[in-house]
Amino acid sequence: MKKFNFNAGPSILPREVIEETAKGVLDFNGIGLSILEISHRSKDFQPVLDEAVALFKELLNIPEGYSVLFLGGGASMQFCMIPYNFLDKKAAYLNTGTWANKALKEAKNFGEVVEVASSKDKTFSYIPKDFVIPTDADYFHITTNNTIYGTEIRKDIDSPVPLIADMSSDIFSRPVDVSKYTCIYGGAQKNLAPSGVTFVIVKDDALGKVSRTIPTMLDYRTHIEGGSMFNTPPVLPIYSAMLTLRWIKANGGVTEMQRRALERAELLYGEIDRNRMFKGTAAVEDRSLMNIDFVMADEYKELEADFMAYAVSKGMVGIKGHRSVGGFRASCYNALPLEAVQALVDCMKEFEKNN
């Protein structure tokens, strides 16, 4: 039976990326050694890192004066690295969900933190509007896509202070005006690579301005100077990331990724809104293109387990909603074909017809 992978992360990757990565594990570029066993400083691996950085800059049209880093520790490590490097007196955070809240909480260890707005009052089902960013903050932090609650900031906002964004789950799904940001970071295991590597895009001249001493490994300048090789980087995920970036470029770049994301979302949200048995959970104007959340309509709540079993029987994988919100979640990252969304929609229609 054909499987349709809607996992939220680690998640679907392009099939050719998986196959090429597998080849590299057995024999990397025909050198007779696995990529798992070659030196990260060798002439064989350095071109991989160089190409990954170059493709990052090309696909996102990153201006001069920014560095692209590949680090360990996940996006969660960035929750402390951001304030270590940028918070001198006060920082501002937008609280739109679990990960935004964790980032905010971590920053409080380093100085004053202002929560400019929160959507906690409605279970993070919307993106706050009309908030005021304090002009005396060292930076303003946002989480652009909220994987658990299915909301997304789909445009680059204007900020009077340096803007920092966690783009773990929507990077490369749309064009981004990087010049509006001081730092963009994210875990790679959604739209880019297997788990194990974190990307950071950072504005060089914004660094070195805090008064505190920063531990060597937590100072972005360390990794810029070391070319992401101050210590051994996550070699295999970087290789897969490079292959994924090649795939994005070959398939029309981020503009085409955005078109496909809109097409997938329009199809699935259309069925959620049409089907009497289901309803969406996020505010319509803030619906995520990456993580589409829905539940059974109130009068059909008792059929939730039945639909889950039916969906699984039809090959749907990973559509169970996060335990904090329940229901269902279809993660529709770049590599997910429209065919998978159509299969889920057909499944929803069949379940409605049979019940």
**pLDDT tens per residue across span 316-354:** 999 999 988 889 999 999 999 999 999 999 999 999 999
Tokens representing 269 are 């949200």
- Residue 95: the pLDDT is 98
Signed CA dihedral, 168, 172, 173, 179: sign only: positive
> How far is C-alpha 4 from the geometric centre of its chain's CA atoms?
20
d(CA 244, CA 236): 12
Which contacts (CB < 8 Å, 24+ apart) does range 125-133 have? 125/149, 125/151, 125/281, 125/282, 125/283, 125/286, 126/151, 126/282, 126/283, 126/285, 126/286, 127/96, 127/151, 127/152, 127/153, 127/283, 127/286, 128/94, 128/96, 131/94, 133/92, 133/159, 133/160, 133/161
Looking at the chain, the whole-number percentage of residues with pLDDT higher than 90 is 98
Residues of the chain with pLDDT under 70: none
d(CA 258, CA 266): 12
d(CA 331, CA 342): 14
Amino acid at residue number 122: K
15-250 CATH fold: Aspartate Aminotransferase; domain 2 (3.40.640)
List the domain boundaries for the chain: 15-250, 253-354
- Residue 323: the pLDDT is 85
The terminus-to-terminus CA distance of the chain in angstroms comes to 24
Catalytic residue among 138, 166, 170, 286: 166
253-354 CATH fold: Aspartate Aminotransferase, domain 1 (3.90.1150)
Signed CA dihedral, 145, 92, 95, 218: sign only: positive
- Residue 244: the pLDDT is 98
- Residue 1: the pLDDT is 84
d(CA 334, CA 190): 9
Catalytic residue among 138, 170, 190, 219: 190
Q: In terms of Cα–Cα distance, which of 176, 191, 158 is closest to 14?
A: 191
Residue 247 a catalytic site member: no
8 Å CB contact between 181 and 160:
no
Residue 190 a catalytic site member: yes
pLDDT in tens, 122-138: 999 999 999 999 999 99
- Residue 117: the pLDDT is 98
Q: Coil, strand, or helix at residue 67? A: strand
